[in-house]
Structure 1
Amino acid sequence: MIIRLFQLLEQAEARRGMGDQNNWVIRVNDELNRVSENSLEKETEEWKKRSIYKVPIAVADLNKKAYRPQTVSFGPYHHGEGSLKPMEEHKRRALLHFLKRSKKPLQLYVNSLAEVVQQLKDSYDCLDKKWQENTDEFLQLMILDGCFMLEILRTATLSMADYAHNDPIFSDHGKLYILPYIKRDMLMLENQLPMLVLSRLLAVEDKKAMEDEEFVNTLIVKFCSLHVSTKKRMGKCLHVLDVYRKSLLSGEPPKKKDHWKPSSSSGDEIIRSASELNEAGIRFKKSKSVSLKDISFHGGVLRLPRIVVDDVTEPLFLNLIAFERYHVGTGNEVTSYIFFMDSLIDTVRDVSHLNSRGIIQNAIGSDKAATKLFNNLSKDVTIDPNCSLNEVHKEVTHYCSKRLNQWRANLIHTYFTNPWAILSVIAAIFLFALTIIQTIYSILGYYHAE
């Protein structure tokens, strides 16, 4: 009887498993039919909607603090985290100042963003189900964070007279002590707001402000203290990090030299360090602009843009690299630049040499720290073989492969790397000169004796 009962239970379990399997097959077939009905263009458009991404754990673990905001959250990914909650009070206060100054009812702003709410949600990759289902709460988040961001941008770049002189955020004191930390958080990939939020809020507040499409871009560039001409149009941008990236790449790359012929090199060779290139006769000079695209090599001179290395350099570039990595079609110029710089920097000596040429402005204390920073930035980085710096790489490799430059590099590396070697060479030359002089005097003495 007991054995029969077990047999019945096994049969029932098998039928249940078969039923689950059949249901799974039906669901997959339904999804397949829907995929078949959708064209490739629709699928392409769906992927284009995303512009804000969560950094995978495997990447974030390499530097956990680089991708997580420390002071303020923007958007849904880090909203409500304990360490960021103190700033929520200041967000609500900023909203009240914004509404009071605009003299427009809050409902107008809600209605404007409600028209594009699905577009805003689609901007976030892997958006939590909570935000997908609760549209009212999502709109509240966008308006609160959007108004706070606009107030921050205006406080740093324009005159804002409606805040108290001792306001902890929107005062000269706040500009000095708080805004640098907010700026750091505003440039993190996971902590972005769609640019559409800012443009919609400004359009309701003052339509004239939005007649200039570059108004918000200009505010962001000034806020980030970038030495970039604000007259150059950036066009449509996705968010603050995208504006910052485009500003770093402003300007046209140097024109290609028509007379230069590439060598048979495949371009797979690793670029030598700055010290080794210097030994091969290559000189380093500062580029005319600070654009990361302004890198060129001509006549034995490698020109590189000036870069300031400070405490925020590492997290900033890590987020820029992550943006290029996960947003298809955005380009790989920043990643290529970092990989190129890491190739040039192997030791403290390389940083010191680039610093002496005005290319690296070291503000983190020691050359050793700067060396470690560049080496860490290039970890787990994938380089596009068609990157913009590939031609410069080939030119440098071709120059170093010339026999005269190889001989020069070997001579310097062998005899001029330390003071004792230099003294030995000088002594040898001096003795050789004395020997020649002595020989000449001996010959002259022989002729005079005759």
Structure 2
Amino acid sequence: MDPSLISDPREAKWVAETSQLLDRQLKIEAEIPPVSIFQVPETITSKKPEAYKPQQIGFGPYHHFQPGPYSKMQHQKLLSLPRVLKHHKIPDFRQVLLHKVEKLVPVIRACYETFLRDDDVTMAWVFAIDGLFLLDLFRTYDRGHPINKRLLLLSQDIMMVENQIPFMVLKEINQALHSSSSDNFSPSIFRSFCEINSPLELCSRLQAPSSVQHLLHYMYFSIINNRPRPPAPSPPSPSPSPSPPSTQDNLPVVPIQQSLDIVSIVETVIDLSNLIEKVPDKEIVQLYEQTITSLPELSTTKTTIPSASKLAARAGFRFQDLPQDEGIQHINVIGRNFYLPRITLNRDSEVILRNLVAYETLIMLDSDSDDYHPLITEYMGLMCGLIVNVEDVKLLKKENIIKGDLGEDEIVKMFVEMSGGCMLSLKTKEKSKLQEKIDEVNKVYESRPMMKVEYFLLEKPANWMRVGLTRIGSFVGGTWKILAFMVSIVTVFMLTYQAYCDVYGCEKNNLKLMLPYASS
């Protein structure tokens, strides 16, 4: 008999499971909730996957059975069950709580982005155990009890996109535990946890969202909706911005011994020409190709916004912290005063910020409406531009914009790493208010006289050289000694550029042309 005609038992099992799940889904009478718990794509997680996969404790169908967290915390979850049930005088866990959660499972499935293959009974056990543990943990925060180190270690895992438990599960469990007072259960159960762990200030309790999908949803909207409560008295006008420093004040004082030494540069041209005569043709070709590759960077590289220390030192910007009730939507630039919200950075802050950005990205990609705007993503992009070295961190700490226990080097490392891939480019129909403010800052910064000097003396010649060398290389053929001379000219240009950078500073990373035989 042809083996291809024999049905695969795995296929039959899949058909049976899918049929059962579909039958249950069709019987749902409750309103189907929107998808709110996503799997984070590799385009976001690739640079730092451990920031999106729980390391200590896993919740829900995505991570409850993940081997590492399961072995670490499953025992702790099970130990908390009898204590909580005894406290609430629940005699029969299965009858009072588990069966109620099981009836809710078909609706819960709709909250998850991917198809969940586990049967309803398994899912009910997972949600009942995880939900009861989380509910007890949030109560611990809410009562103001001391938070031990073990709980603090769990906070970053609890905030991960893939580790969320639907709010409806917590509400159902609370109803089973407190049948008489279940109507009072609200997302405010998340408040104390978020106040302790959120890197950014939250809106007031009265403005906090009253209808949420899960914990991360609550924190996200509490952050972006942080604004003064209406009617609010008009905030005092910012102090008048200091008069712009004169052109001469903007120019750094250059000691004579640090000025560009033209004589030594000319001597370098001669030395390099003699040096390159000794270099084999093959190495000349490689050097030529490296030069062609390097020049476009010098002529085209741009940054979103200059760093905080550069804005302060070179353009006279002053950084000031916003009031506590003004969040990321109130970032403002008035004259040369730059107003930013406070951010508290501790050990778990990077993971929480990364997952807030990921969540915002995923809800925007999943939504057909234009109601969402990448507010946190744009804010983090701004901070990644402002913070590139320790001097930037020191300046923002001095102005009370950055707080927390994280060290200065660690803060720099965090923002540099986050700028490298966790924030996807999201297109919007119109330019945001924050981007308009960034454009204002860049316009002021780029209008400096030294910026124009750099463009006309460095960037334009670099572009000309790139075009010229490319054309020469297309017809010179084997006459690599001619190209060698051209490369030596470009090398001198690079040295001049480096000397300029040493004196005046540059907007880009200094380029270093590596000569293989320079030390011979």
Matching residue of 1:442:
none
In 1, Cα distance between the equivalents of 2:416 and 2:137?
33
For 1:46-445, list aligned pairs within 5 A: 49-84=34-69, 85-104=71-90, 105-106=92-93, 107-129=95-117, 131=118, 134-158=119-143, 175-206=147-178, 207-222=180-195, 224=197, 228=202, 229-252=204-227, 270-278=304-312, 279-289=314-324, 291-327=327-363, 328-329=366-367, 331-361=373-403, 363-366=405-408, 368-380=409-421, 381-386=423-428, 390-398=432-440, 401=443, 406-407=448-449
Could you give the per-residue CA deviations for residues 197-238 of structure 1, whole angstroms, max 9, x where no partner exists?
111111222242432534423354356377543233312111
Could you give the per-residue CA deviations for residues 96-150 of structure 1, whole angstroms, max 9, x where no partner exists?
1222222244323233323321111121222442x1xx11111011011000001
* Stretch deviating more after TM superposition (99-108 or 144-153): 99-108
In 2, Cα distance between the equivalents of 1:301 and 1:331?
25
After TM superposition, give the deviation of residue 287 of structure 1 in Å.
Answer: 0.8
In 1, Cα distance between the equivalents of 2:429 and 2:347?
28
In 1, Cα distance between the equivalents of 2:54 and 2:445?
52
CA contact (8 A) 2:373 2:428 kept: no
1:74–1:299: structure 2 CA closer, same or farther, 3 Å change rule? same
Percent of pairs with identical residues: 23
Letter in 2 for 1:237: V
Structure 2 length as normaliser, TM-score?
0.59
In 2, Cα distance between the equivalents of 1:223 and 1:351?
22
CA contact (8 A) 1:75 1:145 kept: yes
In 2, Cα distance between the equivalents of 1:337 and 1:253?
19
Matching residue of 1:262:
none
1:188–1:353: structure 2 CA closer, same or farther, 3 Å change rule? same
Question: Secondary structure at 1:364's aligned position in 2?
Answer: coil
* Stretch deviating more after TM superposition (185-194 or 342-351): 342-351
After TM superposition, give the deviation of residue 63 of structure 1 in Å.
Answer: 0.5
CA contact (8 A) 1:109 1:143 kept: yes
CA contact (8 A) 1:71 1:87 kept: yes
Higher RCO (Cα < 8 Å, 6 or more apart)? 2
* Stretch deviating more after TM superposition (388-397 or 139-148): 388-397
Letter in 2 for 1:92: L
Segments of structure 1 that go 5 or more residues without pairing to the other structure are 1-11, 18-44, 161-171, 258-267, 412-416, 422-450
Question: Secondary structure at 1:293's aligned position in 2?
Answer: helix
1:64–1:186: structure 2 CA closer, same or farther, 3 Å change rule? same
After TM superposition, give the deviation of residue 358 of structure 1 in Å.
Answer: 1.5
Q: CA RMSD in A?
A: 3.8
After TM superposition, give the deviation of residue 182 of structure 1 in Å.
Answer: 1.4
In 1, Cα distance between the equivalents of 2:346 and 2:209?
26
Structure 1 length as normaliser, TM-score?
0.68
Letter in 2 for 1:146: G
1:308–1:388: structure 2 CA closer, same or farther, 3 Å change rule? farther
In 2, Cα distance between the equivalents of 1:388 and 1:188?
30
Question: Secondary structure at 1:143's aligned position in 2?
Answer: helix
Question: Secondary structure at 2:344's aligned position in 1?
Answer: strand
1:270–1:82: structure 2 CA closer, same or farther, 3 Å change rule? closer
Question: Secondary structure at 1:358's aligned position in 2?
Answer: coil
Aligned pairs, number: 351
Question: Secondary structure at 2:96's aligned position in 1?
Answer: helix
Segments of structure 2 that go 5 or more residues without pairing to the other structure are 6-30, 238-301, 454-499, 505-520
1:109–1:404: structure 2 CA closer, same or farther, 3 Å change rule? closer
In 2, Cα distance between the equivalents of 1:306 and 1:398?
21
In 1, Cα distance between the equivalents of 2:413 and 2:184?
46
In 2, Cα distance between the equivalents of 1:409 and 1:78?
52
In 2, Cα distance between the equivalents of 1:378 and 1:420?
28
